[in-house]
Amino acid sequence: MASQGLILLIIVSLIGLGNTNLTSSCDSICNNGCTVKYLRTNIRCYLQSKQITIITATDQTSFITHSGNNPPSGFDVDLMKYIGDIYQINFLYQYGQFSQFVPTVQNNTNIISISTQTDTLAREQLVNFVQFYTSGTGFIVRSTYHQTVNGLNDLCGKTVVVLASSTQESDVQAQNVKCKVAITMQSVPSISDMINAVQMSAAEVGLYGEAVLKAIARKSNNQLKVVGQIYDIQPRGILCNKRNMPLCCALVTVFAHPELICLGRRVYQHVYQAL
């Protein structure tokens, strides 16, 4: 367990946990830490009394997408829907830019965020994380692009596009200090903007989570490809407010539900088998 924030590594594609027998008693509200005893006692009564809002993105292919009046879809949505089915929770979705997720959750006790947000020490200062899968960073280019991009060192002298407030933005900034020929970096508000920049040749290389990039490349009609070595494999998680510890604890317990783990394993494997 890390020193900052609430962290429990739940990698639903890889692990299995024991039965979580929940009771109807509400004698305490997770006021003694996230122990099995207190979590099992309080999850039902706490979550069933709440309407929880999820702020998320609209363009994280295979994980969460949304357009028009259609409901959102993807791996993240399937997980949250199953939680709602088990515990009769009413989740409401609202949509925003990636850079809004941390401050929105930080300032609203009953809002959580699920997307492809990397758990970092800096973010743990602001919000709690409930980790549920891991992923690394990849590089995406046009299929006709033939210059070498194996890692961050190869970005020197190139035009690169990243998502604003992302870990990839920080990575490129740090790499640029080391370059003899500077990187030209563009920071954009959405993944769609990043992909458009690569497709329209406004940028040579885009950086983001490799699972999302592989899904985008697969659906691009051979216009895009993921290249280079995946780096910085880190846990990703649901964001929750530090002042709402019972909600954070409840989410940890929900992800330990054996039926959710089975569903998560199937969905997660399906996502990666399709990439």
How far apart are alpha carbons 224 and 82 in whole angstroms?
A: 33
Q: Report the b/e string of 132-163 with b at 16+ CB within 10 A.
A: bbbbebbbbbbeeeeeebeebebbeebbbbbb
Do both 252 and 171 map to the same domain?
no
268 vs 30 pLDDT, higher one: 268
Do both 201 and 116 map to the same domain?
no
Q: Name the 3-class secondary structure at 174.
A: helix
Task: Give the domain extent around 70.
Answer: 36-135+235-273
pLDDT of 204 higher than 70? yes
Per-residue confidence (pLDDT) for residue 265, from 0 to 100: 60
How far apart are alpha carbons 191 and 57 in whole angstroms?
A: 9
243 vs 264 pLDDT, higher one: 243
173 vs 219 pLDDT, higher one: 173
| Residue 43 is assigned to a structural domain of this protein | yes
Per-residue confidence (pLDDT) for residue 28, from 0 to 100: 42
Name the residue among 201, 178, 177 with its Cα closest to residue 186. 201
Strands 128-142 and 224-240: antiparallel
Average pLDDT over residues 123-131: 90
pLDDT band, residue 57 (cuts 50/70/90): confident
Show the tokens assigned to 109. 């006790």
pLDDT band, residue 208 (cuts 50/70/90): very high
Number of structural domains, the chain? 2
Whether the CB-CB separation of 169 and 99 falls below 8 Å is answered with no
| Residue 25 is assigned to a structural domain of this protein | no
Average pLDDT over residues 240-266: 72
pLDDT of 101 higher than 80? yes
Radius of gyration of the chain (CA): 19
| Residue 88 is assigned to a structural domain of this protein | yes
Per-residue confidence (pLDDT) for residue 78, from 0 to 100: 81
Reported residue count of the chain is: 275
**174 phi and psi angles, rounded to 5 deg:** -65, -40
Average pLDDT over residues 245-269: 67
| Residue 99 is assigned to a structural domain of this protein | yes
Do both 245 and 255 map to the same domain?
yes
pLDDT band, residue 45 (cuts 50/70/90): low
**Mind listing the pLDDT tens digit for each residue in 63-91?**
888 888 888 888 888 888 877 776 677 78
Do both 124 and 145 map to the same domain?
no
